[in-house]
Structure 1
Amino acid sequence: MKKKIGILGGISHTSTIKYYQTIMNLYYERFGNYYYPEIIIHSLDFQYFTDLENELKLQEYEDYIVYSIHCLENAGADFIIMAANSPHSVLSNVIKRACIPILSIVDAVGVEAQKKNLKKLLLTGIKYTMQSDFYKSGMRKYGIEVITPNDAEQNLINQIIFQELVLDNMLDKSRENFLEIINRYPADGVILGCTELPLLLDNKDTRIRLLNSLNLHCEMALNYALCDSSRT
């Protein structure tokens, strides 16, 4: 019996669509049939959510996330994935207020990095994520050091995400700028710690190993939905 997947989405709609599509594609690639797991999506108000992040209204931010989790619980989800990196900054608090499991995107990345024997990773994402501690603290249990770009580079990456990628707009110049940034740092790999960043580039674009947080999270969710905990 497959578990019903609850997706906390809308942050942004572009990544939510990609989550849904990726889970379906991963299932079909593995099994070659259409017995897909059931998926329930609750889409948040992206501007309101982003305003709470930018203004660091963390209690209201947490409450809004929990509101969506309760909507998914009431709709019949068996477990939840939050289709973005940044809400995982308050995951430990949110888990305490949820009645069903929530799968961590940080753990999805950490397990993969550990498998690849990566020891030092460059974190990229929205400014809120790069300036938060949840990736650095989350990677410690995997024996992995996390570094971040400088302030000017963070501003540029943040701009690319919010002014282009969330609108499903990929520019060659932005790809070049992003590659220049990640090539400056002595790291074993790069965390694409915004679920829109994989729209900009993938491993064929660079020699540096890229950790696609969206794909890894989707794989974890599919495995959990199929009750294959050995693969999460």
Structure 2
Amino acid sequence: MSQKVIGLVGGMSWESSAEYYRIINERVRDRLGGLHSARCLMWSFDFAEIEALQHADRWDDATALMIEAAQRLERGGADFVVICTNTMHRMAGQVQAAIGLPLLHIADPTADRIRAAGLRRVGLLGTAFTMEQDFYKGRLVERHGLEVLVPGEEDRAVVHRVIYDELVQGRVEEASRQAYREVIARLVERGAEAVILGCTEIMLLVRPEDSPVPLYDTTTIHAEAAVDLALSEYGAAIPG
């Protein structure tokens, strides 16, 4: 079976990008056996540059960098593009418009799994940008018909702080795991039937046993969807 080349836009942060690389290669080995591994390319950012643009609200500059990264992957021979972060799907539409390759949006395979499980009302954890802006929630609601709950203001601040002050720096603190458990519990009290780990680093901290409802880890789901596409016959069309 011929593999397509996965183009990974990574480095946001490298900790979660390393998980993408691991999961993708493990799944290819599981599917094909033997010594098989994934055919992939990765463009990895210096995350300090991206983080500074995010928090300075310089999204146009960040978009230009993301487009450049995707175009580098296209020139390098990628068959489709995967943005290895939830937050930077804020500019997924602009990136898709600037390249001639499909872009596998992180929200779509996540929503597909949730709907396949018969669930509709979901909690969303992520950076403040992901939880508060409409680029991610709106896609889940409008394209997939989900009802999305986000934490209250204080809980959103805690979730965001832990991501940037700890997880992207490779720190996994037990106190933060407990804080996330409490945030999840409050979402469940409000009716969440499942919780989306909508930041690719959260899977480093939160485990299934930390939640009374199913957790949907976007890192693993996105990586597995990339493998499905890479091993599909000639590449099934990706919804735009």
* Same fold per superposition (TM over 0.5): yes
Hey, what's the Cα distance between the residues in 2 that align with 1:201 and 1:25?
21
Cα deviation, residue 120, structure 1: 0.9
Aligned-partner Cα distance in 1 for 2:16–2:155: 22
Q: Give CA deviations for 1:149-204 in whole Å, capped at 9, x if unaligned.
A: 11211111111111111122211111010000110122011110000001112223
Please say if residues 172 and 204 of structure 2, whose CA atoms lie closer than 8 Å, have aligned partners that are also in contact: yes
Secondary structure of the residue aligned to 2:38 is: coil
Instruction: Indicate the residue corresponding to 1:200 in structure 2.
Output: 205
Partner of 2:166: 164
Aligned residues: 232
Equivalent in the alignment of 1:39: 40
Kept after mapping to 2: 8 A contact 1:125/1:157? yes
* Correspondence for 1:78: 79
1:174 corresponding residue in structure 2: 176
Shift of 1:73: 1.1
Helix, strand or coil at the partner of 1:153: helix
The letter of the residue matching 1:39 is: C
Q: Secondary structure at the match of 2:43?
A: strand
Shift of 1:136: 1.8
Q: CA RMSD in A?
A: 1.6
Tell whether 2:52 aligns with 1:51: yes
3-state SS in 2 of match to 1:207: coil
- Matched residue, 2:156: 154
Q: Which residue of 2 aligns with 1:220?
A: 225
Map of 1:11 onto structure 2: 12
Rounded to whole Å, the distance in 1 between the matches of 2:217 and 2:121 is 16
* CA-to-aligned-CA distance 1:49-100 (integer Å, 9 cap, x gap): 1122122222111111001111111111111101100111111122111121
Q: Identify the residue that residue 145 of structure 1 maps to in structure 2.
A: 147
Separation of aligned partners in 1, 2:39 and 2:7:
9
State the secondary structure of the residue aligned to 2:35.
coil
Structure 1 stretches of 4+ with a deviation exceeding 4 A read none
Per-residue CA distance 1:115-160 (angstroms, 9 max, x = gap): 1111111110111111111222111222201111112111111111
Residue aligning to 1:126:
127
Q: Please, which runs of 5 or more residues in structure 2 have no aligned partner?
A: none
Q: Which residue does 1:114 correspond to in 2?
A: 115
Q: Distance in 1 between matches of 2:53 and 2:37?
A: 35
Match of 2:24 in 1: 23
Does the 8 Å CA contact 1:54/1:128 hold for their aligned counterparts? no
Aligned residues: percent identity? 29
- The one-letter amino acid paired with 2:169 is L
**Aligned-partner Cα distance in 1 for 2:50–2:88:** 9
**Runs of at least 5 residues in structure 1 that lack an aligned partner in the other structure:** none
- Per-residue CA deviations over 1:205-228 (Å, capped at 9, x if unaligned) read 322110100011011100110125
**Are the equivalent residues in 1 in contact too, given 2:8–2:40 (CA < 8 A)?**
yes
Moved more, 132-141 or 72-81: 132-141
Contact 1:135 1:146 in 2 (8 A): no
Q: CA offset at residue 37 of structure 1? A: 2.3
Give the TM-score normalised by structure 1.
Answer: 0.95
Q: Which residue of 2 aligns with 1:210?
A: 215
Q: Secondary structure at the match of 1:149?
A: coil
Show the counterpart of 2:65.
64
Q: CA deviation at 1:31?
A: 3.2
